[in-house]
Chains A and B, each alone.
Chain A
Amino acid sequence: MAKQSGKNQVGTWIGFVLIMLWCLFPVAWIISLSFKSEGETGAGSAQFLPKEPTFDNYKAIIDNPDFTRALINSFGISLIATVLSVIFATLAAYAIARLEFRGKRLVLSLALAIAMFPVVALVGPLFDMWTTFGLFNTWPGLIIPYMSFTLPLAIWTLSAFFREIPWEMEQAAQVDGATSWQAFRKVIVPLAAPGVFTAAILTFFFAWNEFVLAISLTSTTSSRTVPAQMSFFVGPDPFNPPYAQLATASVIVTLPVIVIVLLFQRKIVAGLTSGAVKG
């Protein structure tokens, strides 16, 4: 970078700023909206910054028991789905990367096929099944489909990570006196940590942002997640949706995601295996 010509660097920065503007403008717009009063958004005024910034929207939404309940549902369902999905994916991916067994390719292709299935196509059958099994409008009713949709991606990501880890690591551990499980837990999993966190973040995002299943498989706030709950924000009439309220909810819902990414970012350090073997 240091040796780049000045012209080149200027071009890089222009491109950088353009992309940032392109990506962040909608975010800025939502944040700006969330500080505008109901009247201001309804008046059709198009100015970017709020005339009279107000925290009323935030106060209202935090006092709204339906919304806080949905937030709890979202956290619970997403976290449980993520943890379970990552645990299962880690074990499955390890087996796929390390063991030779019949039907290994079949397992991988099947996993991919599941990931390709359009979610909408499954809503009907799932609805019928869940009402029969009594899973409709419950946490597990959402956790199970979320897991089955995120597992394939997690398995593929993690098995790629496991394949990168030199097999000698594990053999060295076994010679040092570790059981297979100890070798897995003390050597392989720490080395695959970047992969585990990547898979965890992807899974969490999917579950956190999912809308179609959340709206179709729930009926009350006992298990409705935030994206679904937001569709129940209605204004005085169908032609005047509460833009400010929606924007505020969006901001609140985005915050945990940003925090989680910042936290996990440190863990996703590429090249953690450097130094393991001669390279």
Chain B
Amino acid sequence: MAAIEMKNIVKQYGDGFPAVNDVSIDVEDGEFLILVGPSGCGKSTLLRMIVGLEDITDGDMVIGGKRVNDLAPRDRNLSMVFQNYALYPHLTVYENIAFPLRLQNASDSEVDEKVREASKTLELDEHLERKPGNLSGGQRQRVAMGRAIVRDAEAFLFDEPLSNLDAKLRGQMRTEISRLQKRLGITTVYVTHDQTEAMTLGDRVAVLKRGVLQQHATPRELYENPANLFVAGFIGSPPMNFLPATVTGNQVELPFGTVTIPEEKAAKAQGKGLLIAGIRPDHFEDASVMDSDKVTDEATFSATVDVVEWLGNEAYAYIPFEAPPEVQEQLQQLERDLDGESLRTQLVVSLDGASRIKEGDEATIWVDARKIHLFDPSTGENLTMDADHAGIVPGGNAMAKAEEVGKEQDDVKPEASAT
């Protein structure tokens, strides 16, 4: 087991495509790190550089205190689970798991002992003599993990291991991976584009956009203190709402009304003109289902609800609004970056399941003004970020830098869609 240090890692392909740009991430010994970002953000490339399947253009990759830039994959002693599992179809499950040990010329008794142990952990005992072709997706996934855990690797690397499974199995395997990692206490780097996996599995999460590190922090820090619009929009489901806002004193003027925010937040956003306010759907509530002493006029507004999705424990209400053209463009760009495409600007509000608001109703909505974030529309930076609780935010303006890189990438490959 070992720590992995990435120092100013750069990956530029032969055609000049800048896939990873100056990324520095430290993974502590035994830590579970998630690399997350939309498709084409360089997360898989970064993982493949750790394992040695991609050359590193510039920077240092240090594993367990040793620089490994020039080592072949087999000399790095890492194990990896591929997105499509990459099982050896001509070998039985037993031999698939035993493969790394056979290459180390382990004795038959040692191989048998370790394979049996791994298969017991992953409940593969009754499938050991079968071929991968006869296994279900979840079983193949477990075989791939068996092959990874059977030898004492320095670290585990996962490349979107759950993306080929159906939703239910994905949930189960997610828990399984988490349990396994905790039990073995082994350094793990896990690539995903699924923010649920990122939030639930990781000790820390590194968010990438266009090969530029945006923020490297714990899931809670990312959720509560996103460094910029991109991170804010990427983390959380349903995503954070972005509204045009103007700050005067400690009053924030939103499309639906004016709310009062804490002094220290307001101070950071003075004199910046039109801003983008970010409010998570959970930070709204139907005023009628709340204790009356918590509801204050400064923090409520009324709006007409367009659509209500009632899920039992909670309900999502959709409230359309008009955004001024200055922020509209920025919001649409953001939407594209996040692989989404929204047709209209609308507010998504998460309400208590007890709420009786119906479609078309004029509802009184309370907003938790303390949780509002204010973003600079031109740079995307979070003006109200609490830097002490935001993990590692790279210096300079990461989001703007990602934009620049994005333009370069588009110049090289207009149809870039590599993951």
Chain A residues packing against B (C-beta within 8 Å): 166, 168-169, 171-179, 182, 186-187, 190-191, 193, 272-278
Contact = CB atoms under 8 A, between A and B. Distances in A.
A175 B147 CA distance: 11
B72 interface: yes
Interface string B104-147: 10000000000000000000000000011111010010000001
A275 B89 CA distance: 6
Contact of A275 (B53, B73, B80, B135): B135
11 contacts: A166-B86, A171-B86, A172-B80, A172-B82, A175-B52, A175-B74, A182-B103, A190-B90, A275-B133, A278-B84, A278-B164
A172 B78 CA distance: 11
Given A168-B86, A187-B88, A275 B100 contact: no
A272 B132 CA distance: 11
B86 A172 contact: yes
Contacts of A272: 89-90
A176 B151 CA distance: 9
A193 B90 CA distance: 10
Contact of A274 (B80, B82, B133): B133
Contacts of A166: 84, 86
B250 to A, nearest CB: 54
A178 B90 CA distance: 17
Interface size class of B (residues with CB under 8 A): 20 to 34
Contacts of A173: 88, 99
B63 to A, nearest CB: 13
Given A277-B84, A278-B137, A278-B164, A175 B53 contact: yes
Interface core residue of B77, B86, B100, B140 (most chain A CB under 10 Å): B86
| 6 A-B pairs with least C-beta separation | A275-B133, A277-B84, A172-B86, A168-B86, A275-B132, A176-B100
Contacts of A179: 72, 74
A179 B89 CA distance: 19
Interface in B264-291: none
Nearest to B80: A175
Contacts of A191: 88-90
B147 A176 contact: yes
B51 interface: yes
Contact of B88 (A169, A171, A177, A278): A169
A182 B103 CA distance: 8
Interface string B51-69: 1110000000000000000
Contacts of A176: 74, 79, 99-100, 103, 147
B399 interface: no
B78 A175 contact: yes
B85 interface: yes
B87 interface: yes
Contact of B85 (A175, A186, A277): A277
A276 B51 contact: no
Given A171-B53, A174-B72, A175-B51, A276 B88 contact: yes
Given A275-B133, A276-B132, A278-B164, A177 B86 contact: no
Contact of A178 (B78, B103, B133): B103
Nearest to A189: B90
Given A275-B134, A276-B89, 17 more contacts: A171-B53, A171-B73, A174-B72, A175-B78, A177-B74, A179-B72, A182-B103, A272-B90, A273-B89, A274-B89, A275-B87, A275-B135, A275-B140, A276-B88, A276-B133, A277-B85, A277-B87
A172 B103 CA distance: 13
Given A177-B100, A278-B137, A278-B164, A168 B84 contact: yes
Contacts of B90: 190-191, 193, 272
Nearest to A171: B53
Nearest to A165: B89
A171 B86 CA distance: 9
Nearest to A187: B88
A169 B147 CA distance: 13
Contacts of A168: 82, 84, 86
B89 A178 contact: no
A186 B84 CA distance: 20
A191 B86 CA distance: 12
Contacts of B89: 191, 272-276
Nearest to A193: B90
A81 B8 CA distance: 54
A115 B300 CA distance: 82
Given A176-B99, A177-B103, A275-B135, A169 B86 contact: yes
Contacts of A169: 86, 88
B72 to A, nearest CB: 7
A186 B51 CA distance: 21
